[in-house]
Amino acid sequence: MLRYDAASEGSGIFFHRRRTLGNNMPASMYVMLGYRNASIFTFRSGSIGAGITSNFGMSWLVNNFTSKTSGLSPDNPNIIDVLVEAGVSCDSQVMQKLSRKRKGDEIQLDGESMSKALLLARDEYWRAIVRWLRSKMDEDIEELVFCGGTADYIRPEIDTYFQKEGIKISWHGNIFIPDEISSGIGNRMADVWALYQYMIIQFDELTGYTRSEVVLLTKSAEGSTDEEVKRKYNFTPCERPSTFIAVNENV
């Protein structure tokens, strides 16, 4: 083995933005929201700060939601798909898919009850995320860069809150993922795909290799990626019912 590098979650997005923005990168906080946890690191004055991780992943929401319902386990493999399909409104008809009842009227009541529980759990989740971010965010941070599949789930609430605060939000570095790579996973692949492209660039620079084809990482129309996400997650706001391994960048 000639070389080994380790990178924190969100590093692929960071390397892509550093390559495209150059010296114009603002003081930023990179926020990766996954299933098991949430992690952050900051960039300012040309250097990356120490990373911080927490338990505020999608699993926090799932555990909170199931604690408010009867007969549901957080280990149910169908929960995530149903929560995402239910959207911002926490559609009660979609939530009926988690019911274990057999009678139609009981299934309907289950769906309504679960919808109310999810509305509350979802509200508590995005507020917990915001409180955690604000507790770690210095006053000079100009932009938050969100990535990870869970980030899209609470995007409408995050957008609304930070727009009121006057803080710029970037989503997944506006990275374009080819259909043959995403395979239905979508933005969850953005960080890995960007890191892979970064590694290719570093390899080519070290070996002097020139590629005949360059894969574009960014869509020409920035809004197109946003519209696709908005259609999937139904962006209509509703009423309220430890330290990482340092990354070697000097390649």
Select the more confidently predicted residue: 222 or 51. 51
Average confidence (pLDDT) over 95-119: 95
Q: How many other CB atoms sit within 10 Å of the CB of residue 73?
A: 10
Q: How far apart are CA 187 and CA 95, in angstroms?
A: 24
Q: How far apart are CA 4 and CA 193, in angstroms?
A: 19
Q: Shortest CA distance to 8 belongs to which of 34, 26, 45? A: 34
CATH 3.30.420.40 in the chain is located at 11-59+137-233
Considering the domain 11-59+137-233 in this protein, what is its CATH number?
Answer: 3.30.420.40
pLDDT in tens, 162-218: 999 999 999 988 887 777 776 667 777 788 888 888 888 888 888 888 776 555 566
Q: How far apart are CA 235 and CA 88, in angstroms?
A: 7
Whether residue 233 is predicted with pLDDT greater than 80 in this model: the reply is no
pLDDT at 42: 93
Tokens (6 digits) for 12: 């692929």
Q: How far apart are CA 181 and CA 103, in angstroms?
A: 43
How many Å from the N-terminal Cα to the C-terminal Cα in the chain? 16
183 three-class SS: coil
Share of the chain above pLDDT 70, in %: 81
> Vertex 42, ends 84 and 56: CA angle to 5°?
35
Q: Tell me the pTM.
A: 0.78
Would you say 68 and 128 are in contact if contact means Cβ atoms under 8 Å apart? no
pLDDT in tens, 22-71: 888 899 999 999 999 999 999 988 888 888 999 999 999 999 999 999 88
pLDDT at 11: 81
